[in-house]
Amino acid sequence: MTQQRVLVTGGSGFIAGHCILQLLEQDYLVRTTVRSLTRESAVRAVLADAGMVDGDALSFVAADLMSDEGWAEAVNGCDYVLHVASPVHPGNVKDENDVIAPARDGTLRVLRAARDAGVKRVVLTSAFHAVGWGHPQTDHTFTEDDWSVLDGPGIDAYGKSKTLAERAAWDFVTAEGASLELATILPVAVMGPAMGQEISGANHIIQRILDGQMPGYPNLWIPIVDVRDVASAHLLAMTATDAAGQRFLISSGPAIEVKQIGAILRTHFEAAAKRMPTIPNVLVRIEALFSPEFRSAATDLDYVKKISNEKARRVLRWQPRNSEDAVIAGAESLIEKSLVKN
């Protein structure tokens, strides 16, 4: 039987790296994109350090989301595409179009190339930011039927970019996709084993707590998912018959408070974790007037966003780790790689 080939965009990324590892473990031929082939050796070294098997089945091609060059070569001969690459700039940015344009235009560029190459299905990495931002604070449970409100409270450029990119993807497939199938994965805050020397996703929260950089614990609730489970959801959505045309919210379970994350770290890494007091909400609101770091957080103080992962469990037969496992794995990797202070 001929091995199937999968393109993973943005091979140097956190989620993309774990997708590559799992694809190789499952005997796929994998091709990945980097902006310059000078990055190939570094990316291979990171993947090898993370336990990559059969590196000979992995190849690289140069392609940039803001240019057409390289994408025809990247998708040529591929059965599936996991489009993971996207700019990540949470918080305020000087010009939100610097985030929105690469996400939206890059997604459409990949979809056009995939359609033209006869790719069967694209799995797009979206985010909970495309679902749960800009809404009034109610007891609502978010599902795949929800979309973020672009002019609502608390939504930032990153949230807008993920929302607009995903909407553009669905519109494209409906109007111009021909036989191309699409599924989207919408993870919440991603933690888990770091790749190389980069701290990505919500592992920044772990790193700041362990380093003592966080001035205290704001009354914020964080929904968490392990990066390994995000990757497995991509692979399941790639081949599951009923996944075509579907969005999938990916969360380990109920959101947990930032101070609970701190408690987990103190329990398992007492020597590394520093104990800090809770920040009074009023101080976070005052700080939000001046600091981009707190501006979006201030709108969600004391608000627990309820999220359903029922669809992913039912359609994909997806079984995630619990949130504590993701926190512990993320911390272990940061400590092992000396990415936190002693």
Residues with catalytic roles: 162
CB 269 within 8 A of CB 331: yes
In a 3-state reduction of DSSP, which class is residue 14?
Answer: helix
25: which 2 tokens? Answer: 């473990």
CB 184 within 8 A of CB 123: yes
CB 161 within 8 A of CB 104: yes
Beta strands in 246-315 (DSSP E): 247-250, 256-257, 306-307
DSSP letters, 37-60, are GGGHHHHHHHHHHTT---GGGEEE
210: which 2 tokens? Answer: 């362990």
Alpha-carbon distance values, 144 to 21, 85, 97, 192, 242 (Å): 27, 21, 26, 24, 15
